[in-house]
Amino acid sequence: MHPDTVLNVENLKTQFFTEEGVVRAVDGISFSVKRGEILGLVGESGAGKSVAAKSILRLIDNPGEIVGGRITFGEKTLFGLEEGDDGEVRQDEAMLSNADMRRDIRGREIAIIFQDPMESLNPVFTIGEQLREFIEINREMGKKAAREEAIHMLREVGIPDPETRYDSYPHQFSGGMRQRVLIAMALACEPSLIIADEPTTALDVTVESQILDLVADLQQKYDTSFIWVTHDMGVVAEICDRVCVMYLGQIIEQADVDDLFYDPKHPYTEALLRSIPRPDETVDELDPIKGVMPEAINPPSGCRFHTRCPEAREVCMEVDPEAKDVSEAGERLHRAACLIHDDEFGADYRASTPIETSATSGFGTGLASDGGVSGGADDE
């Protein structure tokens, strides 16, 4: 593993075994996080972002299970399940035990922040006590030193008058202030990686933007790496260095943020970018992605995006494109999974004309950020 790589994820697959069938929530994703970088994981609701985030910490419960892949964190194997030449699936001997994950990894080396801070805060204890206890346990500090450290951390995340606010209960804090407390808790053990699952989605835009500024500052100061889960390309533009775009359990494109915004290589990324407001365009020019993301339980054949893709061809209904390196000169790794970049099927693709999909039929009215509100042509 490259010395600058903090986390490496290879071909990760997580599935839910439900009565209706197998949900392929995460279906073979690969990416890595470098030291001090903020990696965005972006996609519509149901794309598999949260399942991917939780899988890294092995927080997937029944009926869910990580069924394949490898996750390495520094020298440690957080997960390793590989198919041998004989077709047998074997667990890597070096894989950490559940006890190791609990004791050494979660909270200490990799912290996670969720969208709803009340899920992580106990309403019957004060903010200060919870933070102090967390520091006491995880950093083996005495009570007094831990209290001081807790106050220091509250100050770090911009809580005014932290000595007094230490004694407040969670309900006495605003949503934005609670989210700051969780950031303090996440940072308290100086982990090398923080996974943030839409921590600002429920906040209003002004508060969201203050928190994003705070995170950008703290990231610099502590040199922490982040995985930032969001459905909002605006948030990606604001704080991420690199980005992975997810669609139905797969990463369809990944690149440095600038490269992705200026030169997207996948029709889904292009559609996502057209659906967000840009400073140089009026709102009238917004063009929401048409149709609704299909269910992960029964994904479309071939390219999973073909039912909504304005560029889809006949061949896209049959062939599931592999992620190809599409880096231009001077770019860092840029990968996209679209047949237009495929040596074998690309010619076929280019020679044919687009087929009718919900993007071209004119019926679709789907929303980009929260699919499921309105039906596309495929629903009828």
Ligand X SMILES: Nc1ncnc2c1ncn2[C@@H]1O[C@H](COP(=O)(O)OP(=O)(O)OP(=O)(O)O)[C@@H](O)[C@H]1O
Could you give the CA distance from residue 64 to residue 191 in angstroms, rounded to a whole number?
27
Length of the chain: 380
From ligand X, Ni ion, none, interface partner of 294 (C-beta below 5 to 8 A by class): none
Could you give the CA distance from residue 340 to residue 352 in angstroms, rounded to a whole number?
11
From ligand X, Ni ion, none, interface partner of 296 (C-beta below 5 to 8 A by class): ligand X
**Least CB distance from residue 197 to Ni ion, whole Å?**
6
- Classified as helix, coil or strand, 90 is strand
Only segment of 45-53, 158-166, 338-346, 362-370 that touches Ni ion (CB under 5 A): 45-53
Work out whether 50 is an interface residue with Ni ion (CB under 5 A): yes
By CB under 6 A, the residues from 60 to 119 that bind ligand X are 63-64
Work out whether 55 is an interface residue with ligand X (CB under 6 A): no
Work out whether 247 is an interface residue with ligand X (CB under 6 A): no
Only segment of 46-54, 245-253, 294-302, 313-321 that touches Ni ion (CB under 5 A): 46-54
- Classified as helix, coil or strand, 330 is coil
Paired with 14 in beta bridges are 26, 66
Q: Are 166 and 126 in contact (CB under 8 A)?
A: yes
From Ni ion, ligand X, none, interface partner of 245 (C-beta below 5 to 8 A by class): none
Residue number with CB closer to ligand X (36 or 234): 234
From ligand X, Ni ion, none, interface partner of 302 (C-beta below 5 to 8 A by class): none
Residue 232 burial (CB count, 10 A): 18
By CB under 6 A, the residues from 18 to 37 that bind ligand X are 18, 23, 25
Only segment of 1-9, 47-55, 137-145, 152-160 that touches Ni ion (CB under 5 A): 47-55
The tokens for 316 are 């896209």
Among 43, 107, 264, 294, binds ligand X (CB under 6 A): 43
Residue number with CB closer to Ni ion (24 or 147): 24
Among 6, 7, 9, 16, binds ligand X (CB under 6 A): 16
The tokens for 74 are 């520094």
Question: Which amino acid belongs to residue 333?
Answer: L
Work out whether 231 is an interface residue with ligand X (CB under 6 A): yes
Size of the site for ligand X (CB under 6 A): 16
Residue number with CB closer to ligand X (18 or 301): 18
Please give the order of strands across the beta sheet that includes 76-83: 21-34, 5-18, 64-73, 76-83, 89-91
DSSP percent split of the chain into helix, strand, coil, nearest 5? 35, 25, 45
**Least CB distance from residue 295 to ligand X, whole Å?**
6
The tokens for 96 are 């950490």
Q: How far does Cα 212 stand from its chain's mean position?
A: 16
Residue number with CB closer to ligand X (231 or 341): 231
**Least CB distance from residue 63 to ligand X, whole Å?**
6
**Least CB distance from residue 51 to ligand X, whole Å?**
3
Could you give the CA distance from residue 262 to residue 283 in angstroms, rounded to a whole number?
20
Containing H/E element for 180? helix 175-187
Residue 328 burial (CB count, 10 A): 9
Q: Which residues contact ligand X by CB under 6 A?
A: 16, 18, 23, 25, 43, 45-51, 63-64, 231, 296
Q: Which residues contact Ni ion by CB under 5 A?
A: 49-50
